[in-house]
Chain A
Amino acid sequence: MDLSTRYMGLKLKNPMVASASPLTGTLDGIRKLEDAGAAAIVLPSLFQEEIEAEEARYDRLTEAHDESWPEAATSFPVMTEVKLGPHHYLELVRQARAATAIPIIASLNGITNKGWIAYAKSVEQAGAQGLELNVYFIPADTTLSGAAVEQRYLDILGAVRLAVSIPVAVKLSPYFSSIGHMALALQEAGADGLVLFNRFYQPDLDIVALKVLIDLKLSEANEIRLPLLWLAVLSGRVRASLAATTGVSTSDEVVKYLLAGADVVMTTSSLLRHGAGHMAVLLAGLESWLAAREFSSLAAVRGIMSQRKLADPQAFERANYIKILQTYGHS
């Protein structure tokens, strides 16, 4: 069975990619994922704010009391050869490259096109074969226009594109007014891949302590519908590779994403739930589905249920919505 595929120019042995998670944050986890069949690894995101906050914290806490007391000019030993900010991340990229035969994709998470773009160059130099750009931006500023938000994505991508020559994917938000237009704009700005979608952190409220609850829920299979819709719409309409992410629980979701037009399928939640070995389960499920229908390759099924390929393209549009409403309660 030929499961091979291409993702932002990288040739992959199958469509299963382990996306950013604590599992991909250690060499041990990466090795296990490779052993379980993952075709590529996306490393955890290097967060712009995290690096800057960490630097500021070190500066504040180690120097707040310096030079204010005659008996001690400082409170800490001089930290020579300090491994700043992304050091450990770059080290992980290097080690992962050395230890595995599958592509290692680094991930950058930031909201400005300022100094941290330099980290893109660093991860490339460390050996990353691709870069996923995660613009985790919640436009809480109500004066900010949609166009300005879009421009921010494009500016960041543009700056990164200038900095590196490895392929770059953008992890998209589902909240653009026109996702298709945005996808094309990103493609024009140099995106080699689009990852659908970013799951934004959605806080809950504690009504006893009157606090905002900060926790992260793993995604569920029923969440695949939004990315599925847009994969189906974009498939065949953009040159950039398409990656599906969110809600992969069993091989059924993998198959659905591929049918809708995904080049690769990413998963985090199922791996966190069941362990790295679940990657092999997903792959086996995919293979058995393909074999049962006598498909000999992945290419044969990819996108066959995308909007462009369907006999009834409207199934993905408003008509479908109306139909659902009309039939709701009758099924």
Chain B
Amino acid sequence: MSAAVRTTMDGNTATAYVAYRVNEVCAIYPITPSSTMAELADQWSADGLQNIWGNVPVVQEMQSEGGAAGAVHGALQSGAMTTTFTSSQGLMLMLPNLFKIAGELNATVFHVAARSLATSALSIFGDHSDVMACRTTGFALFSSANVQEAHDSALIAEAATLAARVPFIHFFDGFRTSHELNTLELLSDDAMRAMISNDLVRAHRARGLNPEHPFVRGTAQNPDTFFQAREAVSPYYEAVPAIVDAAMVKFGELTGRRYRLFEYVGAPDATRVLILMGSGAETARETVKALEAKGEKIGVVQVRLYRPFSAAHLLAALPASVTAIAVLEQAKEAGGTGEPLYLDVMATLAQGVGAGARVTMPRVIGGRYGLSSKDFTPAMVKAAFDELLQVDAKGGFAGRNSFTVGINDDVFYSSLAVDAGFSIEPAGTTCAVFYGLGADGTVGANKNSAKIIAEDAGRYAQGYFVYDSHKSGAKTVSHLRFGSEPILAPYLIASASFVACHQFSFLERQDLLRVAAPGGIFLLNSPYGKDGTWDALQQSVQQAIIDKKLRLFVIDASKVARDVGLGVRTNTVLQTCFFAISGVLPRDEALRHIKEAIRKTYSRKGEAIVAKNFAAVDDTLAQLFEVAVPALATSTHDLPPIVAASAPDFVRRVTARMLVGRGDDIPVSLIPADGTFPSGTSAYEKRNIAEAVPVWEAELCIQCGQCSFVCPHSVIRSRTYDEGALAGAPASFKSAPMNARGTPEARFTLQFYVEDCTGCGLCIEACPSLSPREPGKKAINLADKAPILMAERGNIAFFETLPVNDRARVDFANVRGVQYLEPLFEFSGACAGCGETPYLKLLSQLFGDRAQIANATGCSSIYGGSLPVTPWTKNREGRGPAWSNSLFEDNAEFGMGFRLAADKHLAMAHALLTRLSPTLGEGFVQDLLSAPQIREFELMAQRVRVAELKTRLLAIDSEDARDLLSVIDHLVRRSIWIVGGDGWAFDIGYGGLDHVLASGRNVNVLVLNTELYSNTGGQASKATPLGAVAKFAAAGKRVPRKDLALLAIAYGNVYVAQVAMGANAQQTLDAFREAEAYDGPSLIIAYSQCIAHGIDMRFGMHQQDLAVACGYWPLIRFNPEMQRVGHSPFQLDSPRPTIAFKEYAYNEIRYSSLARTLPEDAANLLVEAQAAVVAKYHKYEELAALDGGRFPPGLPTVATGAV
């Protein structure tokens, strides 16, 4: 046994470390929380890192997990050692291939960061529902409970699959294990070589297809043989437990770490036992040890090999003394007699007793815990044990079956009572909790701290990081544990001796000190200094500090960071403070380590960055002060209400609790059972994340509407109104004469919702109006928010009393007019400067009150539908976009379903109207049936008719009348939208999108094209352009982007537009209106800047302009209607290139970074990309020059309402 190398890494890295080294081919696709494994494999391959056989594995991104599984299957059938990584929905897409791969006895290991399956809601967090759905595939299911186990099991599984020829899913808990940093002993390549038999590898290779000795595999069989074929595999499954056991024994001999199929920990004479798997088992193990030390006769069985399920091994692991068992599962099987593991245990025990292998049948109950990474604590373990002690009045066993633990189930009363005060945290463990902003680098620094502390022998560290749902201004919570023993505590810290708040404003929103242990340390980043901070604290915060006897340290970290040139990144400053006052390491040693870590982390970014961080370390201690805590709380202010008292009941009772981080306390009864949530709750979350916000200069403004058009968060609102409406306006309320002809009395106001603004600055860049007297001053300028906040609150309140502009009187045809249309998509959690959301806002303004939206999973579904709040909202009449997310891959089909149902119900409505026409009045019915509904006043007229129809129908007592009422809303033309990103439209959903476009049905598809997978961290898609760097294309994309527009144009009957609002807002507006008015399929491909492009997002719209100016992104519209009237359907809306491609591209780090890593390749790719741009533009020019007769006639469309 060679000396083990200790290191600190997360579960994904620990797993990929092994999987990469023992394979030759990886077929990958990104999905949270497994993406990191695929990214690492891709990175290592690009870097030339070798596997244990001395060659570099080939890594291929596919178009979906289904595609990855197909490629894996093919590689396996060709004899290559092959793996993949996935989670959740990805695993579901692999299901058909899992059956095939297992059915053909292929040796492989799929590594799965187990995650919830989307049901009434999507969740990216961890549980076993995905893995449990694979029970019948024939894959062995192999579970790890922590980072070290994930590392080790990856190897054991690989060794076992080669020997068994049964494929394995090796899984560990998404986030809790995949993202937890922990100290582990690293396997050497020699240990891996010792575990992996090269003879078996060669045998695997020999089983591959080979024309030199051909055979046929994958036949179609008939009833005469298929059954037998399935049974023929049984011996292989029978052999698996022993093979895994043997691999574990061998592994133990090599490493000293010994594992069992069913690991029992506890009293040899235990009477009560828990059975579970995954990280929860680790919590249970540690809890059992603590309680057993107090004399409790209890134990726990950790399941590692779940499939094939070895009854014999389980029976052997269970002490004979056991009388009661609780089986805990991290999944729910609705409608079953119990969750799967419970049923397996029940069957095992019943069979064991029946066969005489066990004398007594214990009482067995099943329970659920930890769905979607719900924290599972020692107190919950104890609650489960306590349940096994429950007796009824007669002394009989009364433990509840199908219980839940960790929630308050006030509907089915399944939940166990939990003693929140119960803790097993070892005395030697230091617990620290840090509240930071994503942008300030807190998490990165804490990861560094964990690694620093665990660097030396005898010290161990654990780091776990919790994020909120926003992509801008996101709050992070870091849970760090340090100690002299391995940290085996996969649950959040409940009591921290060190609490740090890295943003003073957090204190207003949340009780951060709830987690502070008495006598602990509270470090606060405060702008108020040593003497002013105490008075600036809220009363309840002061009281908590006094009650808990906390020591209070303050530093103006923001100032220190700013002064040394680090901007908002306070991480190095606050990390230095942590080490200086926590005493985790001797101060000098800690500072030395921090500097070493800085050099290691930042040296690849340049000496100047290193120097700034060194300066931050050096400047920190002089600015760190301890504040003497007074005996009494003296503050006269306290926490403001989280939401306004006028907020709806649901927002006050449910949303507000989520907003303050107490969502765990919300009882089941308050959560909608079918996933239905109220629209528009983002209006109640005043996040106040921008320190500087836009301010309007009324007299400079030309009222053009450009600013509100580009605003990603809908915080700029325009209204025009009669002068008389200004009565009662606050003195600070701004108003200007309306600068349009024929409106002498009208006033105009541009109101900024400053509490919802992210401060991105897009509006300022879009503003065309410069002061003729004050250099640099525009009609919109950034200013500090704090001094104007109170006044602006009053202004906004007054603004909302102004009448909403009449849609029928607004000119929809130009950008100036659109500003008066209410956005029905507002205040989302999208990134500051997001390029996608302005298009969604426009959609909502133009068609929102009759839009039904299918949204593909991705950024737009996350900022569009992530709790706590919902940005899709409704107007004053209560109308607004009806929005839903199904999946990632099926969105076009999902939206198609909307259309089919709408067409069916419209046809029904028409038929019923016709039938009821004698009663309703023939003229009235004819008007309803034939009303034009394109222009807004036409739609309003139809709404009036429909309202009248409702009145008349309610007076009619007939089935027809009631049926017509049930579908009556379809008489107002419904606008069906299918929205998603390029990952969906170009890759995973392309087949469905193509089919839907080919259907001829009236759907409107909006592709928010960021040219990569934005939501999962910037992986390449087929929209990624030639020469751009992305994850999975670290050496620059080598092929041009797919031209989705031309592919759709080929059908002839699809309206197609390629738009970039930053280049031509009018063309974007025209395209949206034409697409929606076209009674057939429409496709809009919208250029959307993204943080993963590496640009200053403030100039995102300018960058769009450059993309068009260089010819990279030609603006086009293909309108089949034009062909029908004899014109060319193809219109090229942008001029010939006026600048070189480089002038656009090299503003973006996704392009320019390649010049830093592979300069020669970058130069060549730039030449190729320029040539591709020119060629593409010429092609478009040729199309634009053709007259209408030169285009083939398009396919027919299906008129709205046709069935």
Contacts and interface: CB of A to CB of B under 8 A. Distances in A.
B444 A56 contact: no
B604 A84 contact: yes
10 contacts: A62-B1149, A68-B438, A68-B439, A71-B1015, A72-B1017, A75-B1094, A76-B1153, A84-B1156, A209-B770, A210-B775
A268 to B, nearest CB: 23
A84 B607 CA distance: 9
Interface stretch (A2-10, A85-93, A230-238, A240-248): A85-93
A84 B35 contact: no
Nearest to A60: B567
Interface in B23-49: 32-33, 35-36, 39, 42-43, 46-47
Nearest to B1091: A65
Contacts of B32: 70-72
Given A73-B36, A76-B1018, A115-B608, A68 B1031 contact: no
Interface in A248-280: none
Contact of B1096 (A51, A52, A61): A61
B339 to A, nearest CB: 26
A141 interface: no
Given A75-B1018, A76-B1149, A79-B1153, A68 B474 contact: yes
B1030 A77 contact: yes
Contacts of B471: 65, 68-69
A150 interface: no
A65 B1014 CA distance: 12
A54 to B, nearest CB: 8
B124 A61 contact: no
A78 B1156 CA distance: 12
Interface in B758-790: 770-772, 774-776
Interface of B: 32-33, 35-36, 39, 42-43, 46-47, 124, 175, 179, 437-439, 441-444, 447, 465, 467, 471, 474, 476, 565, 567, 602, 604-609, 611, 770-772, 774-776, 831, 862, 1015-1018, 1029-1034, 1091-1092, 1094-1096, 1149-1150, 1153, 1155-1157, 1159
A211 interface: yes
Contacts of A71: 32-33, 35, 124, 862, 1015-1017
Contacts of A209: 770
Contacts of A99: none
A176 interface: no
A278 B775 CA distance: 43
A91 B1155 CA distance: 13
Contacts of A69: 438, 467, 471, 474
A87 B759 CA distance: 36
Contacts of B1029: 76-77
Contact of B1094 (A62, A81, A88, A211): A62
A75 B179 CA distance: 17
Interface in A32-79: 51-52, 55-56, 58-79
Contacts of A61: 1094-1096, 1149
6 interchain residue pairs of minimum CB distance: A68-B438, A72-B1017, A55-B606, A67-B443, A77-B1034, A210-B775
Contact of A70 (B467, B772, B1091): B467
Nearest to B1154: A79
A58 B1094 CA distance: 8
Nearest to B373: A70
Contacts of B1157: 79-83
A70 B175 contact: yes
A58 B124 CA distance: 30
A156 B485 CA distance: 53
A210 B1017 contact: no
A66 B444 contact: yes
Contacts of A51: 606, 608
A101 interface: no
Main secondary structure of the interface of B (DSSP, over half): mixed
Given A62-B1149, A72-B1015, A77 B604 contact: no
Contacts of A211: 775-776
Interface in A99-133: 115, 118
Among A62, A209, A211, max chain B CB count under 10 A is at A62
Nearest to A71: B32
A69 B473 CA distance: 10
B1095 to A, nearest CB: 7
A210 B862 CA distance: 43
Contacts of B1033: 77
A144 B438 CA distance: 41
Given A77-B43, A79-B1157, A65 B439 contact: yes
B444 A210 contact: no
Contacts of A65: 438-439, 471, 831, 1091
Nearest to B1034: A77
Given A71-B124, A72-B1017, A77-B42, 17 more contacts: A55-B609, A58-B605, A58-B1149, A61-B1096, A62-B1149, A64-B1091, A65-B1091, A67-B441, A67-B447, A68-B476, A69-B471, A70-B175, A73-B36, A74-B1018, A75-B1018, A75-B1094, A80-B47
Contact of B439 (A64, A73, A74): A64
Contacts of B1153: 58, 62, 76, 79, 82
A49 to B, nearest CB: 10
B1149 A115 contact: no
Contact of A210 (B467, B604, B772): B772
B443 A82 contact: no
B39 A77 contact: yes
Contacts of B611: 115
A77 B1031 contact: yes
Nearest to B467: A70
B755 to A, nearest CB: 20
Interface in A196-247: 209-211
B1154 to A, nearest CB: 9
A58 B1096 CA distance: 11
A65 B444 CA distance: 11
A325 B35 CA distance: 80
A80 B1158 CA distance: 10
Among A56, A67, A88, A209, max chain B CB count under 10 A is at A67
Contact of A67 (B465, B770, B1092, B1096): B465
Given A65-B439, A68-B467, A210-B772, A85 B1159 contact: no
A56 B1094 contact: no
A113 to B, nearest CB: 14
B604 A82 contact: yes
A67 B476 contact: yes
Nearest to A91: B1159
B437 to A, nearest CB: 7
Contacts of A115: 607-608, 611
B14 to A, nearest CB: 15
A41 B605 CA distance: 31
A78 to B, nearest CB: 6
Given A76-B1029, A210-B772, A67 B438 contact: yes
A119 to B, nearest CB: 10
A75 B1092 contact: yes
Contact of B1018 (A64, A72, A82): A72
A209 B1094 CA distance: 30
A80 B605 CA distance: 10
A181 to B, nearest CB: 34
Contacts of A78: 43, 1034
Contacts of B447: 67
B309 to A, nearest CB: 33
A71 B124 CA distance: 8
B770 A55 contact: no
B1095 A76 contact: no
Contacts of A75: 1017-1018, 1091-1092, 1094
Contacts of A80: 43, 47, 604, 1157
Contacts of B1018: 72, 74-77
A68 to B, nearest CB: 2
Contacts of B438: 65-69
